[in-house]
Amino acid sequence: MGTGNYLILAIAACLDYLIGDPWGWPHPVRGMGWIIYQFVRGIVNDPLATEEHYFTKTRIITHRIRGIFLAIVLVIGSGGLGWIIVEAARFIHPLFGVAVESIILASCFAARSLTDAADDVLQPLTQGDLAKARETLSNYVGRDTENLSSSEILRAVLETVTENATDGVMAPLFYAIAGCLIPMVGAVPLALAYKAASTLDSMVGYRAAPYTYIGWFSAKMEDVLTWLPCRLTVLTLALLSGKPRYVWSICSRDATADPSPNSGWSECAYAAVLGVQVGGINWYQGVAKHKPLLGEAINPIAPEQIYQATRLTRNCFLIWIAIAQTALILLAYL
């Protein structure tokens, strides 16, 4: 178990906080996304793939096998490539290894990116430019934004920030810490492997055609990998709120109604802490979809609640980092 793991976690956290992911910089997720697209583009671009009769029994089996192959190869390959890069950098020079590992690990965290995304939408919204806020929001969400009211935009931003707090920030940190605790593995391989699973889910993990069967395994895998870090995030938020029983009771009551085993819990925990309610009717390509109501509408959703949500994520992140640092330092001297 490397004694420098605690240093790498600290540097990566600082890099994400100070720099984030500058637009246009090389990023592992872009590479993962390119591989996924190349693998599935033949299916996605097939005009018949959305027709019900297209999915014969043979095609269903074929799509499932291809989807399983894609998921396993990309997840293991991403983690393995990360390990090779870090080890090669360490071979060149230990300090170079620390720098490379810290930069790659920082790219796995999205805390700064979530805050920047919220800012991008909230700035024109608070200035009264509703059209610009709608246009900017469309870069970050899949729902139709052209007719959203100010309150609906605020809800969309809060839902995006709180859903992605788990799979974009806390879950990668969880696997980075786990990797630090496993001899000869390190933070980067497991964090990259999780990012691959998360990217697969975001690109192909849909129930609707044409992704129904090719994305089935990716969606299930991401659900399983996110389950524990999600519950630990909810627990951390509950403790930070000073009212843990209330937060947990609201999540137990409302989050189970969400079809996702994780995003509902993540959004609901933040809603309970902030005293707001999320969920309701969203429109996707002109089709209305009702999301379960999560939390209690004690307060209206306002920009302050959104910024408070990003601060809560940062505080959770710092708490986990502090716990991991303490554990790693103690283990290094045992």
Per-residue pLDDT tens over the stretch 262-319 = 999 999 999 999 999 999 999 998 999 999 999 999 999 999 999 999 999 999 999 9
Mean pLDDT over 192-207 rounds to 96
Cα(68)–Cα(128) distance, rounded to whole angstroms? 47
pLDDT band at 330 (very low <50, low <70, confident <90, very high): confident
What is the pLDDT at residue 26? Answer: 82
pLDDT at 314: 97
Predicted local confidence at residue 51, as pLDDT: 67
Per domain, the residue ranges of the chain are 4-333
Given a contact cutoff of 8 angstroms between Cβ atoms, the answer to whether 11 and 325 are in contact is no
**Which residue would you say has higher pLDDT here, 67 or 333?**
67
Residue type, 282: N
pLDDT tier, 207 (very low <50, low <70, confident <90, very high otherwise): confident
* Per-residue tokens: 75: 């997840």
Q: What is the pLDDT of residue 332?
A: 77
Angle at 39 between CA 33 and CA 42, to 5 degrees: 120
The residue assigned the tokens 């969203």 is 282
The pLDDT of residue 316 is 98
Residue 1 pLDDT > 70, yes or no? no
Is the per-residue pLDDT at 334 higher than 90?
Answer: no
Average pLDDT over residues 131-154: 96
Q: What are the tens digits of pLDDT across the range 15-69?
A: 999 998 877 778 899 999 999 999 998 877 776 666 666 778 888 999 999 999 9
3-state helix/strand/coil string of 234-288:
HHHHHHHHCCHHHHHHHHHHHHHHCCCCCHHHHHHHHHHHHCCEEEEEEEECCEE
Cis peptide preceding 244, ω within 30 of 0:
no
**DSSP bridge pairs for 278:** 294
Q: What is the reported pLDDT for 118? A: 97
Tell me the pLDDT tens digit for each residue of 57-101.
Answer: 888 999 999 999 999 999 999 999 999 999 999 999 999 999 999
Q: What is the pLDDT of residue 50?
A: 64
Question: Tokens at residue 227, please?
Answer: 């389950």
Quote the pTM value. 0.94
For residue 44, the model assigns a pLDDT of 73
181-199 in b/e form (b: 16+ CB < 10 A) is beeebbbbbbbbbbbbbbb
- Dihedral of CA atoms 180, 186, 190, 195 in degrees, nearest 10, equals 100
Average pLDDT of the chain to the nearest whole number: 94
**Picking from 117-126, 232-241, 280-289, which range would have the lowest pLDDT averaged per residue?**
280-289
Question: What ranges in the chain are assigned the alpha helix state H?
Answer: 5-18, 28-44, 57-92, 94-107, 111-126, 130-137, 150-165, 171-181, 187-204, 216-241, 244-254, 263-274, 303-332
Whether residue 214 contacts residue 40, with contact meaning beta carbons closer than 8 Å, is answered with yes
Q: Under a CB-based contact definition with an 8 Å cutoff, are residues 191 and 28 in contact?
A: no
pLDDT for 312: 98
pLDDT at 52: 64
CA distance 204 to 210: 9
